């Protein structure tokens, strides 16, 4: 019988503090880049209808980050959104799928001036994804391209060999994702990112940690595990710029945050762009509908997150993401250690 390996998630580990020559958080450089694009913010707004639209993409771009438009609009509408984002003077990114009609979506976004395209599927290590990557790379050799999601070294290596610049890592870690429950498949995120990043270092490319972060500390852990940036959803979903609808519950403000694979969103996807989808489309549910507290402008949320991230780098003695990869030292913790790490034994 083959040995069952241990895999670890964000809450299973902590980073060991190291001797640091950093005098202030302002000395930490969080910059990264892919192709000709350079960013000062290592977080990416996820391609979900409840999070990213034109407003979020422009706001994140002006803050030094990136946002990826979802693939659930008609191709023409998605291309029109790319044009609006480009007019604001920031990088524009959009997702595509692998079903019939997605090549037209790709072509329309390219004509609209898209800067980055992300192949967005639940299981990135499928032959049809790899074939699409090869076709895109042959047709558009200079296009900045990411694909995913995967959770292993081999999954990342296959996508890199096919031709992507970036691999998205994260099978089922998202706060509203139920993939692991529905399918029994997935890899806890710290292990997944560390394994995929081994392939990235070999190929001189990069990975993005996709999903599962709850706070700035998790973002630091995702970067330390080997990611160049972290894709976030729930932490941005409650902002003014997020696309989710505002709701009032017991006098408190919330915004809707529905998984792209939830029943509600799948019904919306059929309504907005039902071409090529089978009658069983709404039966394949791997996410839930939820609410998140209203948080105000995305600039304030990002500012608070980055303050924590910069502090995390300084605790590790790292001035940039490359140094964080070199100096990181993870330790495993128990449930008691996790409890000890938060506020406890007081009335909050």
262-273 pLDDT per residue, tens: 767 666 766 677
Q: Of 12-16, 214-218, 273-277, 286-290, which gets the smallest average pLDDT?
A: 273-277
pLDDT per residue as tens digits for the range 96-135: 999 988 999 999 999 999 999 999 999 999 999 999 999 9
Q: Which of 73, 92, 72 is nearest to 83 (CA)?
A: 92
**Alpha-carbon separation of residue 227 from 48, 198, 311 (angstroms):** 21, 10, 18
Q: Which of 303, 346, 263 is nearest to 43 (CA)?
A: 303
- The pLDDT of 62-78, averaged and rounded, is 97
User: What proportion of the chain, given as a percentage, has pLDDT over 70?
Assistant: 95
If DSSP codes are grouped into helix, strand and coil, which group holds residue 306?
helix
Query: Helix 189-203 to helix 216-224 angle, to the nearest 10 degrees?
Result: 40
Element (H, E) at 131: helix 127-139
Place of tokens 């958080």: 25
CB of 247 closer than 8 Å to CB of 50: no
CB of 336 closer than 8 Å to CB of 19: no
277 pLDDT more than 80? no
Domain assignments of the chain as residue spans, ordered by start = 11-340
Residues classed as catalytic: 177
- The pLDDT of 66-70, averaged and rounded, is 98
pLDDT at residue 80, rounded to an integer:
98
11-340 folds as: TIM Barrel (3.20.20)
pLDDT per residue as tens digits for the range 126-144: 999 999 999 999 999 999 9
- Which phi-psi region, left, alpha or beta, contains residue 204 (left: φ > 0; alpha: ψ -120 to 50)? left
User: What proportion of the chain, given as a percentage, has pLDDT over 90?
Assistant: 89
């Amino acid at each position: 019988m083959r040995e069952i390996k241990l895999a670890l998630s964000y809450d299973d580990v902590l980073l060991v503090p190291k001797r640091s020559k950093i005098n202030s958080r302002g000395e930490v450089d969080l910059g990264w880049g892919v192709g000709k694009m350079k960013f000062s913010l290592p977080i990416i707004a996820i391609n979900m209808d409840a999070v990213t639209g034109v407003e979020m993409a422009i706001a994140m771009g002006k803050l030094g980050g990136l946002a990826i438009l979802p693939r659930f609009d008609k191709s023409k509408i998605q291309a029109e959104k790319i044009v609006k984002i480009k007019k604001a003077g920031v990088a524009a990114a959009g997702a595509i799928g692998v079903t019939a009609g997605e090549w037209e979506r790709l072509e329309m976004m390219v004509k609209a001036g898209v800067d980055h395209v992300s192949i967005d599927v639940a299981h990135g290590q499928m032959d049809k994804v790899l074939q699409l990557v090869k076709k895109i790379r042959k047709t558009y050799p200079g296009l900045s391209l990411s694909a995913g999601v995967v959770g292993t070294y081999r999954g990342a290596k296959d996508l890199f060999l096919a031709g992507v610049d970036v691999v998205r890592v994260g099978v089922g870690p998202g706060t509203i994702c139920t993939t692991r429950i529905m399918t029994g498949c997935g890899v806890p995120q710290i292990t997944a990112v560390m394994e995929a990043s081994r392939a990235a270092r070999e190929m001189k490319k990069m990975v993005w940690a996709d999903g599962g972060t709850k706070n700035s500390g998790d973002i630091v852990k995702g970067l330390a595990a080997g990611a160049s940036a972290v894709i976030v959803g729930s932490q941005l979903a409650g902002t003014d710029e997020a696309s989710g609808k505002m709701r009032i519950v017991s006098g408190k403000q919330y915004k809707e945050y529905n998984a792209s694979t939830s029943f509600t969103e799948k019904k919306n996807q059929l309504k907005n762009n039902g071409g090529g989808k089978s009658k069983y489309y709404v039966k394949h549910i791997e996410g839930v509908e939820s609410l998140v507290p209203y948080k105000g402008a995305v600039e304030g949320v990002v500012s608070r997150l980055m303050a924590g991230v910069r502090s995390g780098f300084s605790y590790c003695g790292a001035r940039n993401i490359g140094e964080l990869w070199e100096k990181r030292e993870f330790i495993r913790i128990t449930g008691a250690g996790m409890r000890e790490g938060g506020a406890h034994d007081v009335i909050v």
